[in-house]
Structure 1
Amino acid sequence: MTAVPPITHLTVTAGPYSYDARLEWADAPQTCAAFVARLPFESRLVHVRWSGEAVWMPLGDMDFAVGYENHTSYPAPGQVILYPGGISETEILLAYGGVHFASKVGQLAGNHFLTITSGLDTLAPLGRRALWEGAQPIRFAAAG
């Protein structure tokens, strides 16, 4: 039997926009595997409170059972990070501009596991939409 290759690309639909995205298996294999196991993944995006130009999905006590790998406090536009929980709740953050990832308890770091590869020019409008119009639906699914 031939092994099935892992999912390498996702389609992300957020608000009225659609994006292609690449999973970062080489740098965050545990996070990618934990996320792919939950596909399709649906949530709501809200604008960040403390971190700058980003939207986030607050996930409460959802446990992805991963530690830190490829973690950063400064994701670039189009980078998606997973904060696995700890001093703040579990969350996924999508940067659309300058970000210094933080919470009410201070600086955080999340695992960069996914990179948006198309439609980068619509990330800022998505962020403004979440800021001024409220929570936006988001869906991650295997590309294809």
Structure 2
Amino acid sequence: MSDVLITTGDLRFVGRLEREQAPQTCRYFEAQLPYTTKFIHSRWSGEGCWVPMGDEAMPFGFENATSYPAPGQMIFYPGGYSETEILLAYGGVSFASKLGQLAGNHFLTIVEGLEQLPVLGKRTLWQGAQELLIESLV
């Protein structure tokens, strides 16, 4: 089942929320839709695009957490040791901050458009921040 449309420039991705594995994270994120922000390239984690959210407190903790999201997996770090953030892996990722290894909740998986992920990653790395819109398909 597809739940969200992710748009950044001319790139379109369809994603599935991982409601069974990360129910609290998904409920929180769905309440934020449509979600508009910018992707920037990750600083420490490898081939990922991320959304820094500062010290914003989240109403959920860790669930379905991973340090190694696969390409097309989006994780949500609810804060604690480092700032709150969302990260989309477009290649190899070892999720970390300046304080060391982190784990984020895998809450969304891209199910259509995976072949465009390297384009998104390269644009974000070489051209800078990319506009991002995530909206519900239901």
Q: Which bracket does the TM-score occupy, shorter chain normalised?
A: over 0.9
Number of matched pairs: 138
Specify the SS of the correspondent of 1:12: strand
- 1:3 is aligned to none
Q: What CA distance in whole angstroms lies between the structure 1 residues aligned with 2:132 and 2:56?
A: 17
Give CA deviations for 1:61-105 in whole Å, capped at 9, x if unaligned: 223311000000000000000000011110000000110000000
- Comparing 131-140 and 13-22, the one that deviates more: 13-22
Deviations 1:27-84 (A, max 9, x none): 0000000000111111110101111111000011223311000000000000000000
Output the aligned Cα RMSD: 1.2
Number of the residue aligned with 1:59: 53
Letter in 2 for 1:85: G
Q: Secondary structure at the match of 1:88?
A: coil
Instruction: Report the AA paired with residue 63 of structure 1.
Output: A
Q: Which residue of 1 aligns with 2:85?
A: 91
Q: Which runs of 5+ in 2 are unaligned?
A: none
| Higher Rg of the two aligned structures | 1
Task: Indicate whether 1:121 and 2:115 are aligned.
Answer: yes
Counterpart of 1:20, as a letter, is V
Q: Name the SS of the counterpart of 2:33 in structure 1.
A: coil
Partner of 2:21: 27
Instruction: Please identify runs of 4+ aligned residues in structure 1 that moved more than 3 A.
Output: none
1:102 aligns with 2:101: no
User: Which aligned pairs between 1:40-51 and structure 2 lie closer than 5 A?
Assistant: 40-51=34-45
Give the TM-score of the pair, scaled to structure 1.
0.92
Q: Could you tell me how far apart the structure 2 residues matched to 1:132 and 1:29 are?
A: 35
Distance in 1 (CA, whole Å) between partners of 2:9 and 2:97 is 24
In the aligned structure 2, how far is the partner of 1:108 from the partner of 1:70?
Answer: 13
Name 1:4's counterpart in structure 2: none
Whether 2:65 is the aligned partner of 1:71: answer yes
Supply the distance in 1 between the matched residues of 2:69 and 2:132 (Cα, whole angstroms).
19
